[in-house]
Chain A
């Protein structure tokens, strides 16, 4: 009896220490099912998500939504990974395009094809642009639906360009089929001569690979990583390295928080800023929105080319105890109606066909460019996303080259070795 009491105390203590799903996915006594869902996002994003949640719960009184948001993208995936490992992950969650491949490979996401083909689905896989599935699709099976996308374009500051003596308008050049890499680099050089920075890039595949494509180079060819060996690709990377070294280009990642990329851009200290629709809010708050417009990345010949599209996905936890209710939430969240509610404040571009009107609200002047890049763009290369952590390793290594920690030639050799070692 005494032994039993001691064991009970021990068990109670251990139970008290263990994790809990807080009733997630379990039918409560009142017949309601709680669905936990996780996302990252700013206060503005979260406000729109709350609006969506309220509307959803009104429509589905048997489902209670519990949103768990993390402000910083960088902090979100470590938390999610910990929850998945400890079996306390939410029923539905956002996954970034740089992490989706890893989660798919690990088998922690529920395959969605059957449910997407079923009568409860609000949208079909073909309602979304094929290019934005990226790593969320493996061997024909879909593991995450694109929430929304952010096509990578070049924002430009007309006042900064004018101050640097640049008279041509990039968007006009693009419309005339004359928006070439040579013209773009020439503008950057003029901006530099005028005491400004040419362009600001975030160190991610969207910017780097867009520049490589703009030089007519290739990143992957026949399953092989050729960014360091293809002459045009190497020329693109060398141009970037030299630009970072002489401050023609700035890396947004290393700019100080008080004087970051957005601050410099709205203060007319830089000509171009590579980004997505999320910059709308920044330039509007800057107080001079008329000075800004967008253009796709330039190509070698001036002809339109495929651009990078940042995507995030909504996935269902394979361990969810309420997969049906979780799917109800997922399909409504990514549906046209769901995206119209969530994206009315800006921030991103719909990933689903038929919701384009939300982007064409009159700002920026060439907002159609967002849709053009989305429709023909890509969410990283399949060869790259299939290897967990590869993109992050490439970015990290390239940052060493951009910051001058590693010489260009040595950096390229090491980058090739790094990719080959990861590919096995």
Chain B
């Protein structure tokens, strides 16, 4: 018995739980460190710096000086900034209802056709195309006079179309069309994904009960994809408020007030006029506007978004 006891391999006493947790904690910290560093370098520091700059006067090279809330009062009294805010919201109002409505109709249609993968790729192509290339292509289509493909074609039939990219009113229509065209594919794909989560037995039950296709869409499909609609609404609104790159290439907002958006204003103040304090203040105002609009949407979603399937 004693021999047996001696020959049994000795088992190490288990480490205390607290020690294991402590050791794992250090490993976790080790692996998380790069991400934490990235977060600080790319998010927290720039955000903090932008907030601080909003209260400073700085031309990018010289000394910085504190100016309190002067940058905010200057921006809120600035006529061009007012135009930019108004244009940005107008653009959102023009693009979101039409863009999402169209995407939903296309998605519902595609949901029942054969070879939907092919159409999905087709609609998604503009999304994966460089926004600069998209803008340049539309520039050729929409150029005024006999230089643009669209205007020149209509001119041959004796119809004179507006100067889409020069007229401060029509330029907004042109931007809205380009925005809807380039974002349509993404919304169609998201809606399609939403539609495919609807249990077929619910639609089948409604059909057996004698519901018409319109009634099925209104009473079954729409409520069930309302979370998807809400998601695309939030994403579309935020991206509308941040509209910049395509507009910057398509039109020069410096000389066309109709194309002036909030983010263009931020860019112009910072990188063309080197007024980094004013630029940061404008960016912070945009942040607050985005937060308010998103909160309002979250408040409103309780009424029309259904999460029960």
A interface residue numbers (CB < 8 A to B):
2-3, 5-6, 9-10, 12-14, 16-18, 74, 78, 81-82, 84-85, 102-103, 105-106, 108, 251, 253-254, 256-259, 388-389, 392-393, 399, 403, 405
Contact A389 B42 (CB under 8 A): no
Contact B59 A388 (CB under 8 A): yes
Contact A9 B30 (CB under 8 A): yes
Our count of residue pairs bridging A and B at CB distance below 8 angstroms stands at 94
Q: Judge if B97 is at the interface, Cβ distance under 8 Å.
A: no
Given A81-B61, A257-B143, residue A14 in contact with residue B37 (CB < 8 A): yes
Question: Digit string of B132-153 for contact with A (CB within 8 Å is 1, else 0)?
Answer: 0000000110011101100000
Of the candidates B59, B163, B257, B270, which one forms a contact with A256 in the assembled complex, judged by CB atoms under 8 Å apart?
B163
Query: What 7 A-B pairs are tightest by C-beta distance, nearest first?
Result: A106-B61, A13-B37, A258-B143, A78-B271, A258-B147, A13-B34, A9-B33
Of the candidates A3, A102, A399, which one forms a contact with B59 in the assembled complex, judged by CB atoms under 8 Å apart?
A102
Contact B145 A10 (CB under 8 A): no
Not counting A17-B42, A106-B62, a sample of 6 additional A-B residue pairs whose C-beta atoms are within 8 angstroms of each other reads A13-B36, A17-B37, A84-B60, A102-B274, A388-B274, A389-B273
Contact A258 B61 (CB under 8 A): no
Contact A108 B61 (CB under 8 A): yes
Q: Which A residues are in CB contact (< 8 Å) with B41?
A: 14, 17-18
Contact A85 B38 (CB under 8 A): no
Contact A258 B139 (CB under 8 A): yes
Report the bound CA distance from A106 to B61 in whole Å. 6
Q: Which B residues are in CB contact (< 8 Å) with A6?
A: 26, 29-30, 33
Q: Judge if B272 is at the interface, Cβ distance under 8 Å.
A: yes
Q: Which A residues are in CB contact (< 8 Å) with B59?
A: 102, 106, 388-389
Q: Judge if B184 is at the interface, Cβ distance under 8 Å.
A: no
Q: Which B residues are in CB contact (< 8 Å) with A259?
A: 143-145, 147
**Chain A residue nearest to B146 in the complex (CB):** A259
Report the bound CA distance from A82 to B274 in whole Å. 10
Q: Judge if B70 is at the interface, Cβ distance under 8 Å.
A: no
Given A6-B30, A17-B41, A81-B60, residue A392 in contact with residue B273 (CB < 8 A): yes
16 contacts between A and B (CB under 8 A): A2-B26, A10-B36, A12-B34, A16-B34, A74-B272, A84-B61, A106-B61, A108-B61, A254-B256, A256-B144, A256-B147, A256-B165, A258-B148, A388-B62, A389-B59, A389-B274
Contact A13 B144 (CB under 8 A): no
Report the bound CA distance from A13 to B147 in whole Å. 51
Q: Which A residues are in CB contact (< 8 Å) with B256?
A: 254
